[in-house]
Amino acid sequence: MNGVMILVAIVAIGAMAAVVWLGVARSSASAAATVERIQRLAPEPPGAAPAEKVVKSEEEWRKQLTPEQFRVARQKGTERAFTGEYWDNHERGVYRCVCCGQELFDSETKFESGTGWPSFWAPIRPSAVATEMDSTLGLTRVEVLCSRCDAHLGHVFDDGPNPTGLRYCMNSASLTFEKR
């Protein structure tokens, strides 16, 4: 009887591992497709000059930012849903990087995603943000960074509204807002 139970347990563990692996493979494929969509929808104009990089030490960032801003923007943290300053902001203006001040998103592209984080269907210009694959939490997502200072902003997903079908799900702690 014990041998049968061990065999059943081994088969169950193998099946669970296969499900986890399949989920990771699907999330990787989905993330890769999202990056491809971003590049197709918003190619960088020919001859566009990249922004001059802002580089500071960890100590300099700590002095400039609040503890929450530092945790999110510099250590790739995430604020809790429905707690950030801008998730329910409906004013017209521009969202900037909390670290370097670069313009990132316009309120014209902000939409209600129901997620509890500020969500946009496109950055203010393609070169304002950079993307990287993020495999934390056991799945692969597309991380969004400020192209000027590499601050962690959030993630982009392929379940947004038209015209792009993208949802740039950002952390308020990584942003400042300049009213128009």
In the three-class reduction of DSSP (H, G, I as helix; E, B as strand; rest coil), residue 110 is classed as strand
Q: Which residues are catalytic?
A: 169
DSSP character at residue 142 = E
- The Cα 35–Cα 133 span in angstroms is 9
Q: Which residues pair with 111 in a beta bridge?
A: 119
Q: Give the residue from 153, 21, 168, 176 showing the smallest Cα distance to 86.
A: 176
Half-sphere exposure of 19 (CA within 13 A, CB side): 6
